[in-house]
Amino acid sequence: MINKVYGLLGICSKAGKLISGTDIVLEHLAKRKVSLVIVAEDASEKTIKNIKYYCEKENVELLIYGNIDENSKAIGKHNKAIIGILDKNLAVAIQKVIHGGEEFGKN
């Protein structure tokens, strides 16, 4: 499962359908361009709380998954705790893999 998620994140990154970093993700959330937000499990409590607030406000799914190093490596970046997926179809594919192929709901 982990390899599939990181493979999909790599595809998103190469396709230009992924953003990373707090400021840019918040900016795109406000513009309603983000379909899914992934936050690393080892991100600070304040960061998780802040991103969760904005995701709930914009009705965007938030997943807490992986750690900063693994997530960053998958997208070809360094030290990124927050990842935003811009493409709806790729976001759905990632959610299905993380949720074990089961149905999922928003928030």
Q: Which helix (H) or strand (E) holds 19?
A: strand 18-20
- For residue 103, being part of any structural domain is answered with no
pLDDT in tens, 4-60: 999 999 999 999 999 999 999 999 999 999 999 999 999 999 999 999 999 999 999
Using CA atoms, how far apart are residues 106 and 26, in angstroms rounded to an integer?
A: 18
- Residue holding tokens 């998780």? 48
User: Does residue 107 fall inside a structural domain?
Assistant: no
Q: Is residue 84 part of a domain?
A: yes
For residue 14, the tally of other CB atoms under 10 A from its CB is 11
| Position 14 in a domain | yes
Residue 105 lies in a domain: no
Q: Is the pTM of this model over 0.85?
A: yes
In a domain, 106, yes or no: no
On the CB side of 63, how many CA atoms lie within 13 Å of its CA? 22
Counting the structural domains of the chain, the total is: 1
CATH of the domain at 48: 3.30.1330.30
